[in-house]
Amino acid sequence: MNTRTYLDNAATTPLDPEVFAAMLPYFQRKHGNASSLHEEGRQARKAVEDARRLIAEALSWDPEGIVFTSGATEADNLAIFGLARSRPDRRHIICSAIEHHAILHPCDWLEQQGYRITRIPVDTTGRVNPQSIADAIDDQTLLVSIMAGNNELGILEPIREIGELCRARSVLFHTDAVQAFGRVDLPTESTDLISLSAHKLHGPKGVGALAARPGMRLVPLVHGGGHERGVRSGTENVHGIVGFASACRLMVERRETLVERLSGFRKQLIDGVLRIPGTRLNGDRSGSLPHIANFSFAAIEGESLVMKLDERGIAASTGSACSSPNLEPSHVLQAIGVPIEMAHGSLRLSMGQQTTQADIDTLLRTLPGVVEDLRSISPFKLGDS
């Protein structure tokens, strides 16, 4: 029996057994290369193209524009570098200060090559003001990239408004929808590029997609056999792509009930955790993804909190998975103005389709004692921060 309580679904979600079952034949019997001409190859090609159509349908997108990648990090990089290389005349990119590192670091790299990068600040809940984007656009602007839902705070960004204003100014708009896809409606009609990742949707790791408007020129990052209409070479990850589509189909089918259940759990988490003295919610109660809640605890190190919870059978995180081993406080918490000592004491709780009421009860029963124990040995006092 699994006695663990897994509350780190924003880092990754457990593979759905139905998704696993859909993938299995493509590891074994249906092992063909999707570029081969024979029966096995044709079978693999059909699986890839069926998956492309299914994912496109979930996004109301043209299947021609779906490019399979190794995940959202590659999709984000392809959006930024692929466009920058195709339009070298435009050397200005706008993003928010709280984007994932898969956006921020490519932008940092381009900045070193002489690009202008405008990093739009956010308010104290993490929201971007669309007017700041309108003000930042100029005739050099190549792309605006604003995530749909933040992976640390859960906050939803006003991407419909931002997409519409970009379109009115003839500037391309990209959104990293890794956490939002399958959980909220995406205004795909006012978006030019969307990044997705399967493993945040109870699908497999190592596969994702960039949805781009068909006909948009993206210079490839990976050159080779010309797969994915020449945009992304490399033998297709057939079993991964099949799993991605299967996860996507299940997410669409289950979304309504799942979102309702997780929103209820999120409210319980917020109400329960804020009863602990010296605690703050990072982000907002409303206008947020249903599965992510982020807190800070005064006079505590987030890493110690995560380790103590782990000892008691609870998996959580201090922030994004990528920054967990890093002692720098999260750039997201700094951007929303969380005082540095509080930013060091952060805890992100994130739920998935397997989360039960018992998980929420376990967390709320365990956390106050763990916080109290850590504070009793902390050199800082509650009133210090």
* Two tokens, residue 328: 């720098």
Name the one residue in this structure whose structure tokens are 């029963």. Answer: 365
Q: How far is CA 38 from CA 25, 31, 42, 50, 344, in A?
A: 18, 12, 6, 18, 57
Nearer of residues 15 and 321 to ligand PLP, judged by Cβ = 321
Residue 139, SS3 per DSSP: coil
Q: Is 234 exposed, middle or buried (0-12, 13-18, 19+ CB in 10 A)?
A: middle
Find the distance separating the first CA and the last CA of the chain, reported in whole Å: 41
Closest separation between CB of residue 73 and ligand PLP, Å?
A: 3
Residue nearest to ligand PLP (CB): 71
Name the one residue in this structure whose structure tokens are 């096995």. Answer: 40
* Two tokens, residue 8: 């780190």
Rounded Cα distance between 66 and 59, Å, is 10
Q: How far is CA 237 from CA 33, 42, 62, 66, 241, in A?
A: 9, 15, 21, 14, 6
Positions marked active-site: 322
Closest separation between CB of residue 240 and ligand PLP, Å?
A: 11
Query: Rounded to an integer, what is the distance from CA 208 to the centroid of its chain?
Result: 11
Closest separation between CB of residue 80 and ligand PLP, Å?
A: 12
Closest separation between CB of residue 315 and ligand PLP, Å?
A: 15
Closest separation between CB of residue 249 and ligand PLP, Å?
A: 19
Nearer of residues 73 and 355 to ligand PLP, judged by Cβ = 73
Residue 141, SS3 per DSSP: strand
How many other C-beta atoms can be found within 10 angstroms of the C-beta atom of residue 320?
A: 19
| Binding footprint of ligand PLP on the chain (CB under 6 A) | 71-73, 76, 100, 102, 147, 151, 176, 178-179, 197, 208, 320-321
Closest separation between CB of residue 366 and ligand PLP, Å?
A: 25
CB crowding 60-69: b at 16 or more within 10 Å, else e: ebebebbbbb
Nearer of residues 188 and 385 to ligand PLP, judged by Cβ = 188
Rounded Cα distance between 191 and 173, Å, is 6
Nearer of residues 146 and 338 to ligand PLP, judged by Cβ = 146
